[in-house]
Structure 1
Amino acid sequence: MTKRVLVILSEFGYWGEELVGPLSAFDERGYDVVFATPTGKQPHALPPSMDPDYVDPPLGRSVTTPEVAKLTRDLDESGRLANPLNLSAWAPERPYTSSPDYLRRLESYHRAVAKLEAELVPYDAVLIVGGSGPIVDLANNERVHEIVLAFARAGKPVAAECYGVACLAFARDWEDRKSIIWGKRVTGHCKEYDYKDGTGFLGVPDFNMGPPPYPLEYILRDATGPEGRYIGNFGRETSVIVDFPFVTGRSTPDSFLTGQKIVEVLEGGLRRFGW
């Protein structure tokens, strides 16, 4: 049976290789790939991720080959991403406690969660693509959290790259408020690779946030708890961690390996890698 993967993308810019890397692995295996964004708008790649001459400040070199730049540009212009699913119309959001008829709204929310879980049955895995965009509209998006929680409860792979891994740190069961990655091994954008200046987003002209608004490494260290572990692998060319059901990739250079490991989880029963 053909595998189906849900790929969640930011509307404020994704890093090209972090999509085309895994997507190449999925396409090679003939997977059915369904894209989704927070409000159903077409996602686009961040311009530096399509520029092989762009020098990544922390690494002091280009991180985009001409081949990957072309793959990203071709995908961006292909129309394949033109009609993503609208998460705001699909996944529920928990009501404010102060809402009128809160109890009725909460009951409705739980019915919507059950409906979402039923609609996710045909999907075999979910991937959250990284880049700076997820900082804005994915990391603290409760609808994204509901999807992550639903896949984890179903025992299906949950994958994320770079700043997309923040979604896993913030996805929490409402009762105990512990991160879903508590006790797990994960990787993600390490402190040494954070920009000191120049963090930008699509759709926000001339806006330079400077450094990222939060150091992802610190969040992941706290979210995994004393029995889990953040693994940055700073100084190593790649960092991909599989601690089932989670598959996490540190940053851009890990994208193709992330896709490969997702395939191995789905087809080969891989449950542990990189630690």
Structure 2
Amino acid sequence: MSKKILFILSEYGYWGEELLGPLVACDEWGYQPVFATPTGKRPHALPPSLDPGYVDPPLGRTVTTAEVAVAARELDESTRLDQPLSLAGWLPERPYLSDAGHLRRLESYHRELAEVDEDIAGYDALVIVGGSGPIVDLANNGRVHDLVLAFVRADKPIVAECYGVACLAFARDWDDRRSVLRSKHVTGHPKEYDYKDGTGFLGTDFVIGPPPYPLEYILRDATAPDGFFHGNVGRDTSVLVDYPFITARSTPDSFLAGRKLIEVLESGLRRFGW
């Protein structure tokens, strides 16, 4: 039986290393990657993530090595990402309460979600790749939330990196509205590492100042009352495992996150980094 990992990428730009790190680990251990985007459009790397000379403003230093820049560019220009699955074509969309025939449509929605649970049986883990793009089309994407919930129900590991961690904070059962991160320990982009200006996205000329929400604050609220957000500011890496979640703060944590995913799958790791 083949081993498969589902990778979710934004159509508005992913960070090269944040795909490369987990993907390299999966390739080395014989896991087949399956890529998906919100509407099936081919994902592309954010240009700064392929530039070894790019200086991250909050950190005041470069964040991409020459070796990683070459490997990430080769991956981005390869055919591996050419035909991603479409989440819109795979998962149902929850109907508006105001839609005609709402009750019948809601029943249909739940029937289709049950089929997604069956699909998930064919995957070993989920990876939500980070970068600025997820802010636009992943963080508050209902289909992404339903996919996260499906993996949680199946008790399968989920990796989320950088701004991809917001998807976990917002993934909630509509009956109780509690985040799947409730009372969990996670990491993510801390306030200190947020841009003050220049948050950009692919496919649009729209560039904003800081990110539209401080991810740290969202994660602190989502993990209450007994969990915790660990920013690990000033430390080289920040990756946490609080099963089934493997969360990574940012770019330098990508390869470590990939290795921890393999440890979770192959060795039964359930806790790391806190």
The answer to whether the superposition gives a TM-score over 0.5 is: yes
CA distance in 2, matches of 1:217, 1:241: 15
Structure 1 residue runs without a partner (length 5+): none
Cα deviation per residue 1:24-62 (whole Å; 9 max; x = unaligned)?
111111111000000000000000000000000000000
Structure 2 residue runs without a partner (length 5+): none
Contact 1:171 1:180 in 2 (8 A): yes
Query: Deviation at 1:184?
Result: 0.4
Divergent runs of 4+, >3 A: none
Query: Deviation at 1:2?
Result: 3.7
In the other structure, the counterpart of 1:65 is 65
CA distance in 1, matches of 2:105, 2:180: 25
CA distance in 1, matches of 2:136, 2:207: 13
Cα deviation per residue 1:200-245 (whole Å; 9 max; x = unaligned)?
000002x211110000000000000121111111111000000000
RMSD of Structure 2 on Structure 1 (CA): 0.6
In the other structure, the counterpart of 2:130 is 130
Cα deviation per residue 1:84-103 (whole Å; 9 max; x = unaligned)?
00000101221101111100
CA distance in 2, matches of 1:161, 1:248: 6
Contact 1:130 1:160 in 2 (8 A): yes
CA distance in 2, matches of 1:130, 1:92: 24
CA distance in 1, matches of 2:257, 2:90: 27
Equivalent residues in 2 for 1:40-189, closer than 5 Å: 40-189=40-189
CA distance in 1, matches of 2:211, 2:193: 11
State the SS of the aligned residue for 1:167: helix
**Does residue 262 in structure 1 map to residue 251 in structure 2?**
no
Query: Deviation at 1:79?
Result: 1.0
Contact 2:58 2:193 in 1 (8 A): yes
CA distance in 2, matches of 1:217, 1:3: 33
Give the counterpart letter for 2:46 in structure 1. L
Contact 1:13 1:133 in 2 (8 A): yes
CA distance in 1, matches of 2:115, 2:85: 16
Contact 1:92 1:146 in 2 (8 A): no
In the other structure, the counterpart of 1:215 is 214
Counting matched residue pairs gives: 274
CA distance in 1, matches of 2:19, 2:103: 40
Percent identical residues: 71
Give the counterpart letter for 2:178 in structure 1. K
CA distance in 2, matches of 1:127, 1:232: 20
Give the counterpart letter for 1:60 in structure 2. G
In the other structure, the counterpart of 2:228 is 229
Cα deviation per residue 1:142-163 (whole Å; 9 max; x = unaligned)?
0000100000011000110000
